[in-house]
Amino acid sequence: MIAYPYSQAAQFVPRDFIWMYPALLMMLSFIVLAACVAQAARGERKLFGTIGLWFAGISFAVIGVDYFVQLQAVQPALLRSGEAAGVAVLSQYNPHGVFIALENFGFLAMAVSFAFLGLALGDSKTERATRWVLLTASALAILAFVGMSVYFGLGIESRFEVSAIMIDWLALVASGIMLAFVFRRSSAPPD
């Protein structure tokens, strides 16, 4: 725990920021996966795929901007004498700051996209299982946000962020593997 104005965080630069680079790549992978699901959707499910892709885009944009600000503004400010207080509200170390709020919104948008992407999937056994994973993850993340907001109120801090990251990334790993099999089968040349 680092105390306000988080100037002591300079000792953790760049170590505490390195994870954001692969996280941005994972977010890019998510938007590509959502585009593939939207493109593969058929008939009346096409609309669900499109809506899911839009929410995936919102998630990517919000989290991308959030992490980019950390890397390009907060990190250098922490290293410069006298600038740390100016970025305290933006810092990932601030449990009531912009970073946590944007992450909460971004991962909540990702959870909403899961619901629509799940509804866009077809009826094969693997697609039904993937739909179940995505809908369950969506419901868990949304319920976690509502429940924690009611229980903790303004003291939610990073509790939802940690829960949402765990739920969303586990769902992405599982659904990504399952969707690889779905897309492999659908792109295989006919015998």
Span 97-151, pLDDT tens digits: 899 999 999 999 999 999 999 999 999 999 999 999 999 999 999 999 999 999 9
Compute the distance between CA of residue 189 and CA of residue 88 in angstroms, rounded to an integer: 56
The whole domain housing 159 covers 9-187
| pLDDT, position 160 | 95
| pLDDT, position 5 | 65
Compute the distance between CA of residue 73 and CA of residue 61 in angstroms, rounded to an integer: 17
Structural domain includes residue 122: yes
Compute the distance between CA of residue 137 and CA of residue 11 in angstroms, rounded to an integer: 36
Structural domain includes residue 52: yes
Structural domain includes residue 39: yes
Number of separate domains in the chain? 1
| pLDDT, position 188 | 58
| pLDDT, position 92 | 85
| pLDDT, position 33 | 96
Query: In whole angstroms, how large is the CA radius of gyration of the chain?
Result: 19
CB neighbours of residue 110 within 10 Å: 30
- Closest residue by Cα to residue 117 from 77, 175, 76: 175
Structural domain includes residue 65: yes
- For residue 85, what is the DSSP state? G
Structural domain includes residue 138: yes
What residue ranges of the chain have pLDDT lower than 70?
1, 3, 5-7, 82, 84, 187-191
| pLDDT, position 169 | 93
The secondary structure of the chain in percent helix, strand, coil, rounded to multiples of 5, reads 80, 0, 20
Orientation angle between helical segments 125-152 and 159-187, nearest 10 degrees: 170
| pLDDT, position 119 | 98
| pLDDT, position 78 | 81
Residue 129: exposed, middle, or buried by beta-carbon count in 10 A (0-12, 13-18, 19+)? Answer: middle
| pLDDT, position 120 | 97
| pLDDT, position 106 | 97
Structural domain includes residue 4: no
Structural domain includes residue 3: no
Structural domain includes residue 1: no
**Angle (nearest 5°) at CA 100 between 99 and 106:** 90
